[in-house]
Amino acid sequence: MSDRLLVLVRHGQSEWNLKNLFTGWRDVDLTEQGVAEARAAARQLMERQISFDIAFTSALKRARRTLDLMLEEMHFANFPIVTDQALNERDYGDLSGLDKDDARKKWGAEQVLLWRRSYDVAPPGGESLRDTAARVLPYYLAHILPQVLRAQRTLVVAHGNSLRALVMVLERLSPADIVQREIATGAPIVYRLNADSTVASRHKLVA
């Protein structure tokens, strides 16, 4: 039986995750904890004898470095990697770089919660989750899913919101359901797909 494997991993903790700042497309690096999370994610996959043929990641440093650390830990050299900004984090627009508590003081907790947690309300100058899905999903359908259906074991290392867009489609979640879903840093989600691209099984790996 073909192994139609798709594994999603959110990057390890970033410097701005630690500082409680809105990050979006700002290109920040991992913290020491983030580096440890990336390596731990790789070890969890190795312990379950999960391997890969190809990987996709965003154009942002924190995702690409997480992938590089995972591949290093798994002893993969000269491994095929596809990088595309279609997998970038949601653009937080005018919120980018702001402390989340300061944003609440400026605009009010209810408005900031709406920007962060609604499906289709975008922050000023930024993207809603629906906007993020509008660029992530066509890329998934055109480039990632065909690899999986060809039994190319596929790893995607990206961001909380770009991955939530994929999870929404894979698990057939409603807009109301997906806004409640959190994706932890460095915690692989392992899917195996049916031939018709629906999900046969899902397992979240925890340390």
Give the tens place of pLDDT for each residue, 132-157.
999 999 999 999 999 999 999 999 99
Active site residue 15: no
Active site residue 89: yes
Mean pLDDT of 174-179: 87
pLDDT at 207: 60
13 or 207, greater pLDDT: 13
Mean pLDDT of 51-63: 97
| Cα–Cα distance list, 79 to 16, 68, 71, 86 (Å) | 29, 10, 8, 21
**Closest by Cα among 38, 86, 42, 92 to 62:** 38
| Fold of the CATH domain 5-204 | Rossmann fold (3.40.50)
Mean pLDDT of 82-89: 98
Average pLDDT, the chain: 94
Give the rounded percent of residues in the chain with a pLDDT score beyond 70: 99
Segment 21-36, tens digit of pLDDT? 999 999 999 999 999 9
Domain boundaries, the chain: 5-204
Mean pLDDT of 174-197: 93
Catalytic one among 11, 37, 127, 159?
Answer: 11
Catalytic one among 37, 89, 127, 159?
Answer: 89
Query: CA-CA distance, 81 to 64, in Å (whole number)?
Result: 10
Residue 180's pLDDT band (cuts 50, 70, 90)? confident
